[in-house]
Structure 1
Amino acid sequence: MEIFPHCPVAHHFGGNASMKLEPGSELWYSNVEAPECISDLDGAQWDAEADFVVVGYGGAGISAALQAAENGLQVLAVDAFAGGGATAMNGGIFYAGGGTAVQRKAGVVDSPDDMFRYLSLEVADVVRPATLRRFCDGSVADLEWLAGHGVRFDSTYYPKKTFYPPAGYFLYHSDSSLAETCAAVAAPAARGHKYWHPPASQPTGFGVHLTDPLRQRGAQLGVRFWARTEARNLIVSASGEVVGVRVVRMPEDSVHTTAYIDAQEKARALLQKLPSSMPGFARLERKAQAYWQKARALQQQHGVVQRIKARRGVCLSAGGFIWNQQMVSAYAPKYVSNMAMGSPGGDNGSGIRLGQSVGGEAALMNRVSSWRFINPPTQWPKGVLVNMQGQRFVNEELYGASIGHEMNEYHQGKGYIILDRTLYRGAWKTAVLENLFPFMRLPLVLALLFQTRKGRTIEALAKKIGMPPAALQETVNRYNHAAEGGQRDDFGKSRSECQALRSGPFYAIDVSASSKFFPCSAMTVGGLRIDEDTGEVLREDRTPIRGLYAAGRTAIGLPSNLYVSGLSAADCVFSGRRAAQHASNANADAAVRLVEM
């Protein structure tokens, strides 16, 4: 076997060539190493092999592994942690429509056409219309596939607009489809399918009700899973085809591995105790860093290097890079102050870097989905959200990702909700009396207590928060005129969501991205370009890298423009299954190519 640590294909990168982006370079910000190039495949030595190797065992990776196993492939999956990824940690929403069994049982009417028309507004041009159409047409089947493998859903329907349904509700409007501007394009329907779970009050972790059943089913079908195994580099043939992956694996049943796991999990737990914007997080971060360093030292001393042969391909499904602050600062500096939503330590960009190391093109790396949720309370969207110039910039009733995108991209991450006395008092009633999860109630109360300024008049309020008084007064005047029927709202907000701000005193609530007590969460949505029909990673010239696939947030996908709740999980299943289906047919495709030649 002949191995060249700096194979020529490792230098074919997308993006700005002047950045000299390559493994080991100053701007690489990753442990991913240059690929190994094997000139003699027949004489190569391997520690393990499988038909299909999955790197990153979260929602996309588990879906890819299970689908491949169903198709009869031998599958080996690796994960730097215990598996599950960001999907297991999230709120447990799956975006589906077109007439699912859950929708029908709840009496919700929907069609693939309406789902497609609505999502065309959110997805825009990040995927081809044909890809979006395939996703919408297959949504019912994707949900049935999940249910067939043990994922449970419930049809208890919450018809009002909210970013997360109250306890006991499992089907809701997890997007902006109820807004008049969207309803004019497509009939709205509840498409947020929450996985059934026993009563609980924690803010995250419902996603295990998807990942656990799928993982159990995969194990029954023979999927091998190596936990605490970090992929360091890809292995390619002389022609540039990906034929395997090199990993560092912590040995099973070792006291050193037990200490390694303990250090990793303590670091992750510390980083999840508080939102990153809150006072005290910096101290937790320093403590977590000490545990990360301990884990790295244990891995360096006791980790075992192994090479895995992939006969049908490698699927990169290791998440995004929101927890890699160096990469966020380099690609999306506007979002450094946002609260990272993802797997601490896991969403570090390694999947993207692995793809780039063999010539894959990464794009939309500046795209971050930031979620400025302002409902609940239902009273906040009835006020106006303004920038530091006292001007409105968005329809306040839209889904939080639309609001966060406008605020962070075009208004320096600054935003204040302006309310009058009636709406302000109503917000307090909601915070105290309504059926809210604790993770929703606490930030709301803290914002009302500590991030609210009060003024007897609009002019006095503007002066207190450093806005031009005349501009804020003009904004409120125009809004009041529309709310009272004098004109159409400037941003198309539904009449039912408009309420004139007349009764002083007036209030301004700071909901900026840097808000200390009202976090604005974010996740990266850029990644590797892929062939949307096969899931194969593409080079800058749009030719596919044979043997290499990407899925979930490692790749550009459906949520890479504007996110709605559950769309990332749905895209993980969609893209993971797509990669597995193509890999399962790889031999047939190769035979066809030979015949055509």
Structure 2
Amino acid sequence: MVLTNPDELTWTDTTDFVVVGYGGAGVSAALQAAEDGLKVIAIDSFAGGGATAMNGGIFYAGGGTAVQQELGIQDTADDMYNYLKLEVGDVVKPETLRRFCDGSVEDFNWLMKHGVKFGNTYYPHKTFYPPSGYFLYHSDSGLAATYAAQTPSVPRGHKYWHVANNQATGFGVYLTEPLQKKAQSLGVTFWPRTEARRLIMSATGEVLGVAVLRMPEGSAHTEKYIEAQETARTLLQKLPSSMPGFAKFEAKAERYWEQAKRLQEAYGQWHFIRASKGVCLSAGGFIWNRKMLQANAPKYVSNMAMGSPGGDNGSGIMLGWSVGGATAMMERVSSWRFINPPAQWPKGLLVNAQGKRFVNEELYGAAIGREMNEHHGGRGYIILDRTLYRQSWKSAVWENLFPFMRLPLILALLLQTKKGKTLGVLAKKIGVSEENLRASVKRYNESAQGYAPDEFGKSAKECHPILEGPFYAVDVSANSKLFPCSAMTVGGLRVNEETGQVLREDGSSIIGLYAAGRTAIGLPSNLYVSGLSAADCVFSGRRAARHASAAEV
């Protein structure tokens, strides 16, 4: 919608700053803007929280956080920067990464000031998620020898404090809810069940506001709309999207989405919100939009979608694109092939569909997942000997694991593992080249026995010779039905890294339009580590708000 004169439209609402999507990035933007004195309206298609509220509750921070200091863990912004530049690459400018690291402690303190609590027990071992009762751990590849040789190994994965429980997800509410509460106390107006349909622009290309469709509060039709939405979301969470039977739940959910859409079209009320300081798009990525995923990142369609079911549908990205915003890295997906726990699996070797080893098994799951999906067709088998296999079972049964970690592990060992008396028999059972498998194991054993350095740089202590049969192959492919490989998109709108404004193809900034979180290109757009997306949401949301509050009207 383009206006020759802003006054030609009857604006139903007027504010300074509008936030579209009220998850981690959105609430950070709204709260910062309110602190800076702006009048803010935040909208969300659902009840708020987004993918951030549904995640595992990890926040990546360093440089000497209060928790690190309390535990006597030495860290500096320089060390954090030197590590993250290995992960982030060139997806953001060095000075942007520098600002993120230099400001990490301040972001951490800002969260605590507004009611976010962090635990202070340290788990020093490699794992993709800390056991119950632990709140600080190595949430990246820092313990791997290839990284430790370049920068100190420092735990930076901070988990929000909570009473112990066995749930798999949803710990992110310990970030979003305190921030929402504080934002409300500062006057932020929140409209749930409200969908941004289009941006409103001036003839000169400035974003003036946004047109939204809002379900009226207290209406019986709204109650039916909410029931349809939440039923659809519940159905999509019944099974991982990679498992047999998910398609039936997806089809049933689609009927509820259609019901919600009909109610919205019939009873939703149009609001035209004038935003004098700008609009911030923070509506997540597009992992739940399967058509958009197929078009942009087809290698990852078989991965399990993570994020907000029904949300993370690309709507924020498409809104920005509709007014000339440039997108980039839309093919980029963070796909997590976690193989630790159990601690024994990374001591084996991971081979592809040709029987060739292809990665350092001790790396963080996103590094393994990207290599497997991008270059090996999403196929992977962990090769174990009798000792590692038996120890894996002991770990699966007796270790302090959350149920969401234990069950897939046991199912994989029971139902996705092939056994062979010899490597030749095993190769035939999993359909790989016997010659390649034998050669891969031979080279690996030479490293494990100290005769040669590991070809992928794995730590010597993590290399276990595969000598004693029978031998086992655990299928950990991306399309695994029982041991799913979860994923989220990390491409999106290009932004001015100084301001957070959305960029056009020619590199110019769209005045009045910002993007944050997974709607935008950010720190996790190269190689994700646990907690980095949440940290980037806070960083980018606050960046957008700060610029908007300082911008001239």
* TM-score, normalization by structure 1: 0.92
Matches within 5 A, 1:552-571: 552-571=517-536
Residue in 1 that maps onto 2:305: 340
Deviations 1:173-192 (A, max 9, x none): 00000111101111010000
Residue in 2 that maps onto 1:143: 108
Residue in 2 that maps onto 1:400: 365
* Alpha-carbon distance between aligned partners in 2 of 1:327 and 1:42, rounded to the nearest angstrom: 36
2:154 to 178, 181, 189: 189
Deviations 1:102-154 (A, max 9, x none): 01112211111111111001000000000001000100000000000000001
Unaligned runs of 5+ in 2: none
* Alpha-carbon distance between aligned partners in 2 of 1:308 and 1:334, rounded to the nearest angstrom: 39
Give the secondary structure class of the aligned counterpart of 2:163. Answer: coil
* Alpha-carbon distance between aligned partners in 2 of 1:340 and 1:455, rounded to the nearest angstrom: 33
Deviations 1:448-503 (A, max 9, x none): 00000000011110011111101100100100010110010000000111110111
Residue in 1 that maps onto 2:473: 508
2:183 to 184, 207, 218: 218
Residue in 2 that maps onto 1:532: 497
* Alpha-carbon distance between aligned partners in 2 of 1:161 and 1:50, rounded to the nearest angstrom: 48
* Alpha-carbon distance between aligned partners in 2 of 1:508 and 1:263, rounded to the nearest angstrom: 43
Give the secondary structure class of the aligned counterpart of 1:356. Answer: helix
Amino acid at match of 1:189: V
Residue in 1 that maps onto 2:77: 112
Tell me the CA shift for residue 313 of structure 1: 0.2
2:87 to 109, 122, 135: 122
Amino acid at match of 1:217: K
Deviations 1:235-285 (A, max 9, x none): 001101000000000000000000000000010011011101112211111
* Alpha-carbon distance between aligned partners in 2 of 1:390 and 1:323, rounded to the nearest angstrom: 32
2:15 to 34, 50, 57: 50
Give the secondary structure class of the aligned counterpart of 2:16. Answer: strand
Amino acid at match of 2:358: F
Unaligned runs of 5+ in 1: 1-35, 591-597
* Alpha-carbon distance between aligned partners in 1 of 2:525 and 2:420, rounded to the nearest angstrom: 40
Amino acid at match of 1:373: F
Matches within 5 A, 1:233-244: 233-244=198-209
Tell me the CA shift for residue 43 of structure 1: 4.2
Amino acid at match of 1:408: N
* Alpha-carbon distance between aligned partners in 2 of 1:302 and 1:376, rounded to the nearest angstrom: 49
- The answer to whether structure 1 residue 422 and structure 2 residue 395 are counterparts is no
- The answer to whether structure 1 residue 298 and structure 2 residue 298 are counterparts is no
- The answer to whether structure 1 residue 483 and structure 2 residue 443 are counterparts is no
1:373 to 329, 338, 355: 338
CA RMSD of aligned residues (A): 0.6
Tell me the CA shift for residue 287 of structure 1: 1.2
* Alpha-carbon distance between aligned partners in 1 of 2:526 and 2:235, rounded to the nearest angstrom: 31
Tell me the CA shift for residue 299 of structure 1: 0.5
Tell me the CA shift for residue 392 of structure 1: 0.9
Q: How many pairs are equivalent?
A: 553
1:466 to 431, 442, 456: 431
* Alpha-carbon distance between aligned partners in 2 of 1:429 and 1:532, rounded to the nearest angstrom: 48
Amino acid at match of 1:307: F
* Alpha-carbon distance between aligned partners in 2 of 1:197 and 1:113, rounded to the nearest angstrom: 31
Residue in 2 that maps onto 1:132: 97
* Alpha-carbon distance between aligned partners in 2 of 1:404 and 1:296, rounded to the nearest angstrom: 35
Matches within 5 A, 1:318-337: 318-337=283-302
Amino acid at match of 1:111: T
Deviations 1:548-569 (A, max 9, x none): 0000000000000000000000
- The answer to whether structure 1 residue 256 and structure 2 residue 227 are counterparts is no
* Alpha-carbon distance between aligned partners in 2 of 1:70 and 1:306, rounded to the nearest angstrom: 25
Give the secondary structure class of the aligned counterpart of 2:7. Answer: coil
- The answer to whether structure 1 residue 316 and structure 2 residue 293 are counterparts is no
- The answer to whether structure 1 residue 99 and structure 2 residue 64 are counterparts is yes
Runs of 4+ in structure 1 off by over 3 angstroms are: none
Tell me the CA shift for residue 44 of structure 1: 3.1
* Alpha-carbon distance between aligned partners in 2 of 1:48 and 1:41, rounded to the nearest angstrom: 13
Tell me the CA shift for residue 439 of structure 1: 0.1
2:516 to 543, 551, 572: 551
Residue in 2 that maps onto 1:15: none
Residue in 1 that maps onto 2:167: 202
Residue in 2 that maps onto 1:499: 464
Amino acid at match of 1:511: V
Residue in 2 that maps onto 1:17: none
Amino acid at match of 2:400: N
2:2 to 33, 37, 56: 37
Tell me the CA shift for residue 42 of structure 1: 3.4
Give the secondary structure class of the aligned counterpart of 1:160. Answer: coil
Quote the sequence identity (%).
70
* Alpha-carbon distance between aligned partners in 2 of 1:552 and 1:434, rounded to the nearest angstrom: 35
Residue in 2 that maps onto 1:12: none
* Alpha-carbon distance between aligned partners in 2 of 1:572 and 1:183, rounded to the nearest angstrom: 27
Residue in 1 that maps onto 2:125: 160
Matches within 5 A, 1:59-70: 59-70=24-35
2:398 to 424, 433, 447: 433
Tell me the CA shift for residue 39 of structure 1: 1.0
Give the secondary structure class of the aligned counterpart of 1:311. Answer: strand
* TM-score, normalization by structure 2: 0.99
* Alpha-carbon distance between aligned partners in 1 of 2:227 and 2:166, rounded to the nearest angstrom: 26
* Alpha-carbon distance between aligned partners in 1 of 2:413 and 2:41, rounded to the nearest angstrom: 50
* Alpha-carbon distance between aligned partners in 2 of 1:221 and 1:186, rounded to the nearest angstrom: 41
Give the secondary structure class of the aligned counterpart of 1:65. Answer: helix
Amino acid at match of 2:351: V
